[in-house]
Amino acid sequence: MSKTQDIDAGPKVMGDDGEFHATDEAVDLSGTPVEAWVALLLFWALGLTVFYQFFTRYVLNDSAAWTEEIARYLLIGTVFVGASIGVARNNHIQVDLLYRYLPAGLSRWMSRGVDLLRLAFFGSMSVFTWQMMGKMGNYQMTIVDLPMNIVYGVCLFGFVAMTLRSAWVARVHWRRGYSVLERPESTMDDR
């Protein structure tokens, strides 16, 4: 078989007129969760802050002092809120090698235990963050005269979102009878 036959065997994207004729699928953002929009907003605010920092430092030669602190806090917020997206998709780091060699019943109960531990962890982190916010009181940021509880409030939002998403993931696993630990090829869309 020659190379020309291999190329011609695939889908035809170039027409007889020599132009590419490919169409993209329609983008549907209706299923995008609230926390994904919040994470995107925080990410863009971070990008604009870093750009402003770059502009003032290298173009104006007069660096804005507040940008480094705010960029740090925006990065923290992006991570904590964005982590809930990973929880919802159930694609955080996991070790599923052990589940291949264990009996199915034991694997099922272990994966349920993982779901419960994840839920307990994020729930307790939500409570601890809330308690820490109470103890912080009127503590202010270093350079910007804003309360530090704004940063912890965003972290609290992320932990609460991760807790709710963990409960949803555990419910999906319970209803369908298996988790991604037991069947690594599955996704959260397999219901």
Summarize pLDDT for 39-91 with one digit per residue, the tens: 999 999 999 999 999 999 999 988 888 999 999 999 999 999 999 998 988 87
Please give the average per-residue pLDDT across 143-153, as a whole number.
92
- What percent of the chain has pLDDT above 90? 50
Instruction: With a cut of 80, say whether residue 92 has pLDDT above it.
Output: no
pLDDT score, position 127: 97
Please give the average per-residue pLDDT across 123-127, as a whole number.
97
Mean pLDDT across the chain: 86
Instruction: With a cut of 60, say whether residue 16 has pLDDT above it.
Output: yes
pLDDT score, position 11: 63
pLDDT score, position 20: 77
- In whole angstroms, what is the distance from residue 187 CA to residue 191 CA? 9
pTM: 0.79
- The answer to whether position 131 is within a domain reads yes
Q: In which domain, by residue range, is 144 found?
A: 33-176
Instruction: With a cut of 60, say whether residue 98 has pLDDT above it.
Output: yes
- The answer to whether position 70 is within a domain reads yes
pLDDT score, position 188: 67
pLDDT score, position 161: 95
pLDDT score, position 160: 96
Instruction: With a cut of 60, say whether residue 7 has pLDDT above it.
Output: no
**Count of domains in the chain?**
1
pLDDT score, position 149: 93
- The answer to whether position 182 is within a domain reads no
pLDDT score, position 120: 97
- The answer to whether position 130 is within a domain reads yes
- The answer to whether position 52 is within a domain reads yes
Residue 131 or 184, more confident: 131
- The answer to whether position 185 is within a domain reads no
If you count them, how many residues does the chain have?
191
24-39 per-residue burial string, b: 16 or more CB within 10 A, e: under 16? eeeeeeeeeeebbebb
